Structure 1
Amino acid sequence: MGKIAFVFSGQGAQYGGMGKSLFEASGAARQVFETADSIRPGTSLQCFEGTTEELSITRNTQPCLYCVDLAAARALEEAGIHADFAAGFSLGEIAALTFSGIFTGTEGFSFVCARAEAMQEAAEQNPGAMAAVLKLPNGQVEQLCGEFSQVWPVNYNCPGQLVVAGEKEELGAFRQRVAEAGGKAVPLAVSGGFHSPFMASAAEKLEKKLESVSFGTPRIPVFANFNAQPYGENAGELIVRQVKSPVRWQETVEALAAQGADTFLECGAGKTLCGLIKKTVKGARVFQVENAETLQAAVEALL
């Protein structure tokens, strides 16, 4: 077997009840939730009992998903599965940074709460929308975005799938242009135009938040959304730029594979990343770990 990469889920995968069985099955996972509750009381309860509507509000979504992401990874490590690399999709990158030691547990959770608030406020100030473009090459999607003043490519997910963000009316016209070009643009159920210039104010606030943080040395390489390269001494810059810049997920997965990763464990809610990885790296072994059952399945397969 080659090397193992832990990849951490992003926003959009949330659901009521997530993380509860991990909390019950793993002491390491339980500690993640206890740390969160000490900083943001009620976080665990929100994960375990929150409604879909409640969990879809960005200021709730991000702290809760972060906990499930990190809890899954801690539980895997507790069970004896160790990662050679880490990466996270958007929000998931904060869990990856905490798992690797660039953030401490308390710093990581405090930062994800600040990130959630800043991005929620930016989305309210600059209402936007997002859509996944299918069946067109990235270059053509980029050209179509160029026809509009407020539509941008933001998530390079996998071959044949590029997410764009923009102003709502312009995005409607953009979707029509995609259809005319032979593609398909599927609206996403999100509350803002994330990873676009609409998030500039959030990036400014988070830059100030990070001024008091002393970053640790990562125990394993963490590949950044911003440039698909491992984090180095410029951690603060990468974390801030990530908020208002495209997520280069396909490049990140390709970079992990080039470093020898052939086994990917998606830590956190849902299995979106599993699907994207399968479309990007042929023959990759992919596991989803979001609860006690999938944790046990991964452990049995790999140990």
Structure 2
Amino acid sequence: MKAYVFPGQGAQFIGMGKDLYDSSELAKDMFEKANEILGFRITDIMFSGTDEELKQTKVTQPAIFLHSVILAKVLGNDFQPDMTAGHSLGEFSALVAAGAMNFEDGLRLVSARALAMQKACEAEPSTMAAILGLEDSVVEETCEAIDGVVVAANYNCPGQLVISGAVDAINEACEKLKEAGAKRALVLPVGGAFHSPLMEPARTSLAAAIEKTDISTPKCPVYQNVTAKGVTDPTAIKENLIAQLTAPVRWTQTMQNMIADGCEEVIEVGPGKVLQGLFKKVDRKFPTSSATLETA
């Protein structure tokens, strides 16, 4: 069984998607449609902009979504997933690629999500930190004991957990986690506390847009971040998508569940190889690869 997985924010790079645009009419049409929907030429930033321009959340999230979804579409009949999943933002790519949502609706939601998250970030100083080398339960208990908002946000792989919250609470948690034996407790260069209660304003505004969006039964189970389980019911997909902004990304559990459900090979669709690396942390010998134009 093949799983196709889709990366989240952080995988972007200048030049992403240009090979698709130049070599496929379908890709070119989809990119131009995206420029129209977004109201600015995101392709100019993706293909030849600056790192600073690409790093803006309102650009980064749609850019990664476009690279991932358009590559999946260009793969055509070679794209035959038995299951899909995406890390945070990547969940939207996974849903569109699996046929649960159309391309235009997916892009509009991703754009709305990016703008809502940006607004929530500006409302309160907040950040995230990567904690390496501790059991999840130790990180969770340490966060619970701290005054202020700090929670486990991304369960990336065994021994790697990202925490999210208010700046002071994150700094205090990092000190305590180092004392508890963390190999690293590193504050990340992000503009906000994603997947924490501080994203509640973004969740509320995005919920209305998600409720109005048509979701169909996908052609295969989509393993969603909130439950880490394969979902095909459109109502459940909507509920999980709405909960996703303030709930943790259970990627460790997602990978373990996919493997337990019979996944034998993982193909990463989109920029970078981050997710392949995380699968290797679960099982060093697990077969992983990147989807490329050559495989189309």
Q: TM (normalized to structure 1)?
A: 0.92
Question: Retained in 1: the 8 A contact 2:83–2:230?
Answer: no
Q: Which residue of 1 aligns with 2:150?
A: 151
Secondary structure, aligned partner of 1:244: coil
Shift of 1:219: 1.1
* Paired positions, count: 291
Q: Does 1:46 pair with 2:53?
A: no
Q: Call closer, same or farther: CA 1:32–1:261 in 2, change over 3 Å.
A: farther
37-46 vs 138-147, greater mean Cα deviation: 37-46
5+ residue gaps, structure 2, are none
Shift of 1:230: 2.1
Q: Does 1:223 pair with 2:223?
A: yes
Q: Which of 261, 272, 275 pairs up with 2:277? A: 275
Question: Retained in 1: the 8 A contact 2:229–2:254?
Answer: yes
Shift of 1:81: 4.0
Shift of 1:69: 1.2
Q: Which of 121, 124, 128 pairs up with 2:122? A: 124
Question: Retained in 2: the 8 A contact 1:9–1:273?
Answer: yes
Q: What amino acid sits opposite 1:175 in the alignment?
A: C
- Summarize deviations over 1:163-215 as a string: whole Å, max 9, x none: 00111122112111111111121222211100000100111001111232221
- Summarize deviations over 1:28-60 as a string: whole Å, max 9, x none: 433431331220130222211221111111111
Q: What amino acid sits opposite 1:220 in the alignment?
A: C
Q: Call closer, same or farther: CA 1:77–1:10 in 2, change over 3 Å.
A: same
Q: Which of 250, 256, 259 pairs up with 1:257? A: 259
Taking every aligned residue pair, what percent have the same amino acid on both sides?
38
| Cα distance in structure 2, aligned partners of 1:54 and 1:157 | 27
5+ residue gaps, structure 1, are none
Aligned-CA RMSD value: 1.5
Matches within 5 A, 1:10-49: 10-40=8-38, 41-49=40-48
| Cα distance in structure 1, aligned partners of 2:120 and 2:218 | 30
| Cα distance in structure 1, aligned partners of 2:266 and 2:128 | 27
Secondary structure, aligned partner of 2:59: helix
| Cα distance in structure 1, aligned partners of 2:258 and 2:27 | 26
Q: Which of 87, 94, 97 pairs up with 1:96? A: 94
Q: Does 1:61 pair with 2:60?
A: yes
| Cα distance in structure 2, aligned partners of 1:188 and 1:14 | 16
Secondary structure, aligned partner of 2:190: coil
Q: Which residue of 2 aligns with 1:195?
A: 195
Question: Retained in 2: the 8 A contact 1:6–1:73?
Answer: no
| Cα distance in structure 2, aligned partners of 1:170 and 1:246 | 17
